[in-house]
Amino acid sequence: MRLRNKPWAKEKIESYPQYIVPNPENFKGKWHKVFHNEQPLHIEVGTGKGRFITEMAKANPHINYIGIELYDSVIVTALDRLIEADLPNLRLLNVNAADLDKYFAKNDVERVYLNFSDPWPKKRHEKRRLTYKDFLKLYESILVDGGEIHFKTDNQGLFEYSLMSFSAYGMLLKYISLDLHNSDFEGNIMTEYEQKFSEKGNRIYRCEVKYQN
């Protein structure tokens, strides 16, 4: 992904602490204090411009959502969406997903969304894939027992790799679609990339997997 430098982005991020949580490590194990309720928490790792997580929060007010995005120049677009929508059940974190266990404790999260993650196709970059075993272990460390990962991509190679990675880790494959937009799946909310790729005729792959106790 080519990023356009936005030198003003960091200042804008710091101007909206009510939406992009500063010092999120202070809320590890206590996210109910941010949302002022005890609702289930779902997170999206690599939230990008925020379309998916914003629409999910609108559609499911009984669930709290956190979108996680490392790049300042990308998360500011998600911030604009959140400012406009002003959703009480959505917050953003401008942090590295590799550090999730610094910000979330075991049982903090019920579901992790991975949407159109970088495929890192070269073998030497395998450890950077968000479905690599080390990341699966990281998600498990913050999820409730039996927590789930919902994964979408247009990259067949990454999808096949991820299915093998989930299976090797001992996860239960609950749902698999090899062509989501031509399936009977209801309630799909598209990301920006998903719309772009599907309009080009690319198939969208989706799966739901569950950690087994």
What residues act catalytically? 118
Residue type for 45, please? V
Rounded alpha-carbon distances, angstroms, from residue 191 to 46, 53, 71, 81, 160: 11, 9, 17, 13, 21
Among residues 125, 128, 176, which one has the least CA distance to residue 153? 176
Question: Contact, 28 vs 95, CB < 8 A?
Answer: no
How far is 146 from 66, CA to CA, in rounded Å? 20
- Could you tell me the two tokens for 112? 């992790």
